[in-house]
Amino acid sequence: MARKAGRRVYLDHNATAPLRPQARQAALSCLEGPGNASSVHAEGRAARAILERARTHVAHLAGAESRCVVFTSGATEALALGLHPSPEMDGQFAQCDILLASAVEHPAVLRGHRFAEMETLAVDSRGRLDLDALESALKRHAAAGRRAMVAVMAANNETGVLQPVAEAARLSRAHDALVLCDAVQAAGRMKLDMSVLDVDFLSLSAHKIGGLQGAGALVLARAGHRPLAMLAGGGQERGRRAGTENVPACAAFGAAAATALADLETEALRLSALRDRLEREIVDSLPGVRVMGAGAERLPNTTLLTFEDVRAETLVIALDLAGISISSGSACSSGKVGASHVLAAMQVPAEWAGGAIRLSLGWSSCEDDVDLAVEAFRKVVPRVRGRSIRAA
């Protein structure tokens, strides 16, 4: 393969995006000072100023007010904080009896967290939440005097398929349900506005947008919304999340959010052109390849391809050796090989689902990456095809 020595192609932004230079710079400058953002002295005030600037940038990314951003250690923690059956909403506890979650949510939602009861909702063959299924579940629970919290992600991490969040929120409101939107993959890749979406809680993760790992946020629709804190301790984050804030990681999160937001429209166009070419050239040059979620509105950077007669994990390893980094299925806790619950929910037959790999582009992706990736797929797929299936 015509690959320059050492040149790797990173097509796994949905797992973790490379650190943006602006985020790196923001984190590095925090390491110069010792300040704790809760201290009253000059160093503390400097850390506080950095933290609040980051909060404003993160709020803008979600179309929310800065005081509605609660910094956490990542989206998993943000989701655990938001998925509580009795959050305080403007001074009143909103008691929810059940969590209704689309079947394609991330495992961090499907764990249900502090909910004792959860029901999953069907999606269609393209992986979009079935709004009729949501409405009938809402009606059934409302008729039994039960209130729901509905979890619907903005965009799926495996397929990139956009979910009908605003429509789901409208149905939920009509049945007095609360709504949580996991916007981890959509953030920085499409416009988000909490008030337009009309959701109560929204989760974000810094490392998916080019910040550092270990930072995220739960964004609240209004400052009067108070999820029940999971950690007892100091009064950080307005008493909603105890523990000294990770100022360098939050600063990097803020810088990544500001950069992603400033470049949102141009990057969406650039990435969708790269992604479409990548997809087209692979599909056109190899037999037995399908695009999952094709025909649905998708994120501009993501494609989930399935290869007939190929085992995804064999392909991932062979491509890794050829210098191309991709993942099979969701691969959030990489290395784990298991059937994708997203493809199962889309009723993709097992023989197709077993050969599914995800390519996700981002700020560091360029035309050369597409050329090199296509070239590698053309070489590697015929080599691994059938072999791994027969071996299994």
Interaction site with ligand PLP (CB under 6 A): 74-76, 106, 108, 153, 157, 182, 184-185, 205, 216, 332
Least separation in angstroms between residue 105's CB and ligand PLP is 8
Known catalytic membership, residue 96: no
| Angle (nearest 5°) at CA 263 between 60 and 169 | 45
Least separation in angstroms between residue 70's CB and ligand PLP is 14
Tokens of 131: 């709004």
Report the distance separating Cα 238 and Cα 130, nearest Å: 37
Three-class SS of residue 288?
Answer: coil
CB of 111 or CB of 147, closer to ligand PLP: 111
Chain centre to alpha carbon of residue 46: 31
Least separation in angstroms between residue 226's CB and ligand PLP is 22
CB of 17 or CB of 319, closer to ligand PLP: 17
CB of 184 or CB of 380, closer to ligand PLP: 184
Q: Map tokens 């796994």 to a residue.
A: 12
Least separation in angstroms between residue 386's CB and ligand PLP is 31
Least separation in angstroms between residue 340's CB and ligand PLP is 13
Q: Which pairs with CB-CB distance under 8 Å and at least 24 residues apart come from 133-141? A: 134/100, 134/168, 134/171, 134/172, 135/171, 137/100, 138/100, 138/171, 138/172, 138/174, 138/175, 138/177, 139/175, 141/97, 141/98, 141/100, 141/175
Report the distance separating Cα 80 and Cα 54, nearest Å: 22
CB of 185 or CB of 388, closer to ligand PLP: 185
Q: Based on the number of CB atoms within 10 Å of its own CB, is 232 exposed (0-12), middle (13-18) or buried (19 or more)?
A: exposed
CB of 141 or CB of 298, closer to ligand PLP: 298
* Catalytic positions: 332
